[in-house]
Amino acid sequence: MNVTAHADSRLSGPRGNWWFTGKVPGLENIPGVEANGQITSLALPDLSTCDQQSVLDYFDNTWALQEVLFAGLQTAEAFYRPPIHNLRHPMIFYYGHPAALYVNKLRVSGLVDEPVNPYLEQVLETGVDEMSWDDLSKNEMLWPSVSEVHAYRALVHGLVRGIIEKTDFAAELGRPVTMKDQAWALFMAFEHDRIHLETSSVLIRELPLQLVSRHPVWPAPAPIRRTSSRGRPDAQAVPVNRMVAIAGGEVQLGKSDSFPSYGWDNEYGSRTLDVADFETSRFLVSNGEYHRFVADGGYRRPELWSKEGWEWRSFRNAKWPQFWVPDGPSGLHAYRLRTTFDELDMPWDWPVCVNYHEAKAYCSWLGSIDSRGYRLPTEAEQQCIRELPLVPGTADDPVMQSDGADLRSRGVNLNLAWGSEGPVDHSPATSQGVHDTAGNLWEWSEDTFNPLESFSVHPYYEDFSTPCFDGKHHMILGGAFISTGDEASIWARFHFRPHFLQQSGIRLVTSSPDAGSQGPYDSQEVLDRYLLMHFAGAEDTFDGTDHLLMKAHGYPQRLARLLLRTAERKQADLGRVLELGCAVGGTSFALAEGGVRNVTGVDLSPQFVDTAQRLARGESVPYRRTDQGENGTGLIASAPRPAEGCNAAFLVADACTLPCSLGHFDAVVLGNLLDRVADPRALLQQFTESDAFLSSGGLLLVATPWSWQTAYTEPENWLGGRQQTATSETEFRNLLSQAFDAVEETEEPGVLRNHKRHFEVFSADVSVWRKR
| pLDDT mean for each 10 residues of the chain (772 residues) | 82 94 92 95 98 97 98 96 85 96 96 95 76 54 93 98 97 96 97 97 97 97 92 89 92 95 96 90 97 96 89 95 94 95 97 96 89 88 93 95 96 97 95 95 93 92 90 92 97 93 96 57 86 95 90 96 96 95 97 96 91 89 91 91 92 86 92 93 92 93 95 90 88 94 96 94 96 95
Strands 694-704 and 647-652 come out as: unpaired
Taking the C-alpha atoms of residue 439 and residue 416, their distance in angstroms, rounded to an integer, is 9
pLDDT at res. 139: 60
Structural contact between residues 736 and 670, judged by C-beta atoms closer than 8 angstroms: no
pLDDT at res. 618: 86
Taking the C-alpha atoms of residue 675 and residue 28, their distance in angstroms, rounded to an integer, is 74
* Residues 614 and 590 occupy one common structural domain: yes
Structural contact between residues 374 and 507, judged by C-beta atoms closer than 8 angstroms: no
CATH number at 741 reads 3.40.50.150
In this structure, is residue 349 part of a structural domain? yes
Number of structural domains, the chain?
3
In this structure, is residue 218 part of a structural domain? no
pLDDT at res. 516: 41
* Residues 298 and 417 occupy one common structural domain: yes
Among residues 477, 511, 545, the one where a domain terminates is 511
* Residues 242 and 314 occupy one common structural domain: yes
pLDDT at res. 724: 78
pLDDT at res. 156: 98
Q: What sections of 115-216 are H helices per DSSP?
A: 118-123, 146-166, 170-173, 184-206
What residue numbers bound the domain in which 171 lies? 2-211
Cβ-based neighbour number of residue 724 at 10 Å: 4
Taking the C-alpha atoms of residue 238 and residue 219, their distance in angstroms, rounded to an integer, is 25
Taking the C-alpha atoms of residue 718 and residue 140, their distance in angstroms, rounded to an integer, is 69
In this structure, is residue 475 part of a structural domain? yes
pLDDT at res. 684: 95
Largest CA distance in the chain: 96
Taking the C-alpha atoms of residue 384 and residue 390, their distance in angstroms, rounded to an integer, is 10
Angle value at C-alpha 291, between 352 and 500, nearest 5 degrees: 40
In this structure, is residue 150 part of a structural domain? yes
Structural contact between residues 467 and 399, judged by C-beta atoms closer than 8 angstroms: no
- From residue 641, alpha-carbon distances to 134, 309, 496, 646 in Å are 19, 15, 21, 9
Structural contact between residues 279 and 243, judged by C-beta atoms closer than 8 angstroms: yes
Taking the C-alpha atoms of residue 247 and residue 685, their distance in angstroms, rounded to an integer, is 32
Taking the C-alpha atoms of residue 699 and residue 662, their distance in angstroms, rounded to an integer, is 17
Residues 6+ apart with CB under 8 A from 479: 399, 414, 438, 439, 442, 487, 488, 489, 492
pLDDT at res. 369: 84
pLDDT at res. 331: 87
* Residues 432 and 461 occupy one common structural domain: yes
3-state secondary structure of 474: strand
* Residues 331 and 472 occupy one common structural domain: yes
Strands 442-448 and 504-505 come out as: parallel
* Residues 548 and 494 occupy one common structural domain: no
Taking the C-alpha atoms of residue 483 and residue 460, their distance in angstroms, rounded to an integer, is 23
CATH number at 324 reads 3.90.1580
pLDDT per position as a tens digit, 620-629: 888 899 999 9
Taking the C-alpha atoms of residue 446 and residue 473, their distance in angstroms, rounded to an integer, is 10
Please give the single-letter amino acid code of residue 189.
Answer: A
In the 8-state DSSP scheme, what is residue 299? Answer: G
Structural contact between residues 697 and 730, judged by C-beta atoms closer than 8 angstroms: no
Taking the C-alpha atoms of residue 701 and residue 669, their distance in angstroms, rounded to an integer, is 5
Residues 6+ apart with CB under 8 A from 294: 319, 320, 321, 324, 333
